Structure 1
């Protein structure tokens, strides 16, 4: 029997002003809810500018606890609109301990789970190791799906999207969808061919996670140019390109490089059909993969 899910995402610009950024998020959430969305995904760090372009200890003041003002506002929206809402916060867990955290609000139930970004980059313009501690790799957190009224959500955040191991572990734990809140873009000096290669690779690798695991994928990225307030770098042009694809990687909705809301009706029964045709989980050689836990296979 077919089971459908109306799933949407908000692709937006964001600013240092939390009120302005959250108002933009809320407008997108409400528009999607009016169109019948049952699940809405927001992009990574949607409540602020992408502050990781430089290292500034004063910016830790942007962080909030799991039950802080941003999460509270998202929970109120999920309750009012009767939706499952996936948002993003710069989490203050304790003094000196901060995470990049996705939070899941389920209708009137409030927060039913959270996921702390596991892979943390440290590259020019993306100095995230200065700000974020990786999530704990245990049974309670780690690569564990979150149960909601619309299904089991496999949440992964931005840099996590390049790692097939993360998507696989979510699938093996019973995730029914893969969701990637994201903040990625180009540095202005990159030439056009390089920009094309980067964006194509980003799109392809996430579609491939859907194919390899027989699951739909939702990816929400930000848009617009954001200057580096530290003055070290030339800023980042966030390329948008948010998308929703099915369990064979088929593109169901694809955003451009401006603010945009996407909504699709997913046939959730297709994962079962696809996995019967392409039984990757059945044919995995789990007896032969032990060395995947090594950093590198030195000869």
Structure 2
């Protein structure tokens, strides 16, 4: 185990691609940001985790699933994830990729919004967004596919801790992030494209609110990378960045200044401190105090209503 290291939350401000042929150029740029984070801070500390935002490779800019499949979606693994694996080995880092729009032959007709955890040993997991931002996002949720049999909330054991990721709107659902924590996650990774006015600026600032709340209620570190694109690059919204690292007591360890623009913010991940606190605390230990059987009736019947159904 690496008991202490730094994580880099990287936000981007790039024009959105209109075809999958443009994704390689985005990957070129993101690989360069990994080099900047690792090499730039090497004299001071080791950056071992690098996180990118939602839509870093492609945004759901077309209105139909058919157009997304035709123009932007890619299978995973692919030549881009291969390049991330090579960079992870070169720099000895773990990379939570920005999202891809993904197709999978097992689920014909579906497009997933997917982020991958990649390390020196290869592609370790992929997380498909469970809660698309309705009604604007038309990609599929694994929850809605009959017979879906892959883990919806994967957590991976690594030398830098147990890592689990979820995407943007997922974080407004405490159950989604609790699922990662109950699977053992110590570092919760948020890959996000959170727009104004709910982003990292007052008076709303849901971005900071939910990142801190999820850290506290799950006693885990949070590394959250938010999209920093201007309205000109990713219309119709502006994307306020504010990428951050939060500790298990909800303290903001570092945060990029709110506002569009490419930025890298780094913060410490102290696994030894986290594990000591999880083992020592008797108060304010929600994971330990959770009475799951008290809540089983809450979800005894389906609540989710598909779009367009009252």
User: What TM-score bracket applies, with the shorter chain setting the length?
Assistant: 0.7 to 0.9
1:224 to 207, 225, 229: 229
Residue 159 (structure 2) pairs with residue 122 (structure 1): no
Judged with a 3 Å threshold, the aligned counterparts in structure 2 of structure 1 residues 69 and 205 are, in CA distance, closer, same or farther, namely same
**Whole-angstrom distance in 2 between the partners of 1:98 and 1:295:** 24
Of residues 183, 186, 197, the one that matches 2:193 is: 183
- The answer to whether 1:268 aligns with 2:271 is yes
Aligned runs of 1:115-154 on 2, under 5 Å? 115-123=127-135, 127-128=136-137, 130-134=138-142, 140-154=150-164
Cross-structure match for 1:30? 35
SS class of match (2:111): strand
C-alpha spacing 1:139/1:98, structure 2 compared with 1 (3 Å): closer
Larger mean CA deviation between 54-63 and 112-121 belongs to 54-63
User: Could you say which structure has the higher strand fraction?
Assistant: 1
The answer to whether the 8 A contact 1:12-1:24 is kept is no
Instruction: Output the TM-score relative to the length of structure 2.
Output: 0.82
Structural RMSD (CA): 2.7
Gaps in structure 2 of 5+ consecutive residues = 304-310
Name which of 46, 55, 59 aligns with 2:68. 59
Residue aligned with 1:236, SS? coil
Point out the more displaced range, 135-144 or 83-92: 135-144
Contact 1:146–1:154 (CA under 8 A) maintained in structure 2: yes
CA change 1:78–1:180 in 2 (3 A) is same
Shift of residue 138 of structure 1?
7.1
Q: Could you give the per-residue CA deviations for residues 242-294 of structure 1, whole angstroms, max 9, x where no partner exists?
A: 11000001001101222111112221122234431422223222221112314
State the SS of the aligned residue for 1:205. helix
Alignment partner of 1:165: what SS? helix
SS in 1 for 2:38: helix
1:170 paired with 2:176, answer: no
What 5-or-longer segments of structure 1 have no aligned partner?
A: none
Pick aligned residue for 2:53 from 43, 49, 55? 43
1:14–1:222: 8 Å Cα contact kept in structure 2?
Answer: no
CA–CA distance in structure 1, aligned partners of residues 177 and 48 of structure 2: 23
User: Residue 180 of structure 1: SS of its match in structure 2?
Assistant: strand
Q: Structure 1 residues 56 and 67 mapped into 2: Cα distance closer, same or farther (>3 Å)? A: closer
* Cα distance in 2 for residues equivalent to 1:219 and 1:115: 15
SS at match of 1:248: coil
Contact kept? 2:10, 2:52, Cα under 8 Å: yes
Q: Secondary structure at the match of 2:288?
A: helix
1:119 Cα deviation from its structure 2 partner: 0.8
Aligned length: 281
2:228·2:241 contact (CA, 8 Å) conserved in 1? yes
